[in-house]
Amino acid sequence: MCCRRSEGVVYKRCTHYVPISFHDKRDCGNRYCTFSAAHPRSCKNCNCEIHWYPDYKQDTVGYREGACSGCFQYFAGRPVINAQ
């Protein structure tokens, strides 16, 4: 499957990296990957791969307080413990 380089932010509470933009696609050259240039344009309603490989590079461009949207509910009402 094809992969990309991403830029994103890290949430301080849960430490999850969340991408905000994608760049520099690396083509896998697989005709069964819908994101590849090798995938036939005539292939419609196929069972080809429609998922990206994990990013080959993740550039952190900032940090945000709190938890990401996936963890927000888990951390709701829990005390913040400052690690040193």
Mapped onto helix, strand or coil, the DSSP state of residue 74 is helix
pTM: 0.72
One DSSP character per residue, 15-71 reads --EEEEEEEEEE----TTBTTSTTS-TT--S---B--PPPPSEEEEEEEESS--TTT
- pLDDT tens for 4-55 read 999 999 999 999 999 999 999 999 999 999 999 999 989 877 888 888 999 9
